[in-house]
A and B are shown apart, each in its own frame.
Chain A
Amino acid sequence: MSEAVEEALESAPKPTRDLSELVAVVEALIFVADEPITTKLIADVLGEDKQAIEAALEQLRQEYEARESGLQIREIAGGWQIATRTEFHEEVRRFLRTRPSAKLSLAALETLAVIAYKQPATVPEILEIRGVQSASAIKTLLDKRLIVAKGRKETVGRPMQYGTSKDFLIQFGLKDLTELPSIEDFEDLVS
Chain B
Amino acid sequence: MSTPEPDTYSFDFYKEKAEIVAESADELRIKIGEFAGPLDLLLFLIRQEQANIFDIPIARITDEYLRFIRMMKSLDIAVAADFLVMASTLIEIKSKMLLPRDPNAPVEGEDEDDPRQELVDRLLEYEKYKSAAQMLYEKTTLEQAVFPRGKIESDDGNAEIAATVFDLLTVFQKIVARHAEEVKLEIHREEISLADMIKDLRRRILETGEVSLLAFFEEMHSKRELVTAFIAALEIVRTETVKLVQKKTFGDVILRKV
Contact = CB atoms under 8 A, between A and B. Distances in A.
Contacts, number: 137
A190 B135 CA distance: 13
B143 A172 contact: yes
Given A34-B152, A34-B155, A110-B133, A131 B145 contact: no
Contacts of A171: 140, 143
Contacts of B26: 107, 132-137
A106 B132 contact: no
A96 B139 CA distance: 22
Contact of A113 (B81, B133, B151): B133
B169 interface: no
B127 A190 contact: yes
B149 interface: yes
Nearest to A173: B143
Interface size, B (range)? 35 or more
B140 A117 contact: no
Contact of B149 (A31, A106, A186): A31
Interface stretch (B31-39, B59-67, B171-179, B225-233): B31-39
B227 to A, nearest CB: 26
A137 B27 contact: yes
B68 to A, nearest CB: 15
B133 A83 contact: no
Contact of A173 (B25, B86, B134, B146): B146
A112 interface: yes
Nearest to A100: B144
B205 to A, nearest CB: 25
Interface stretch (A16-24, A84-92, A154-162): A84-92
Interface residues of A, number: 49
Interface string A115-144: 011000000000001111111110000000
Interface string B19-30: 000001111010
Interface in B112-137: 122, 124-137
A62 to B, nearest CB: 19
A109 interface: yes
B14 interface: no
A10 to B, nearest CB: 19
Contacts of A132: 26, 36-39, 80, 82-83
Nearest to A86: B145
Contacts of B144: 89, 100-101
Given A104-B140, A133-B26, A174-B139, A83 B129 contact: no
B147 interface: yes
A83 B126 contact: no
B168 to A, nearest CB: 17
A189 B155 contact: no
Contact of B27 (A81, A105, A181): A105
Nearest to A131: B39
B142 interface: yes
A135 B81 CA distance: 14
Given A84-B147, A106-B34, A132-B80, A113 B24 contact: no
Interface string B71-85: 000000000111100
A130 to B, nearest CB: 5
6 contacts: A107-B37, A113-B133, A135-B25, A173-B140, A183-B128, A186-B131
Given A103-B137, A110-B37, 10 more contacts: A32-B152, A34-B152, A109-B137, A116-B132, A131-B86, A132-B82, A133-B80, A136-B25, A172-B140, A173-B143
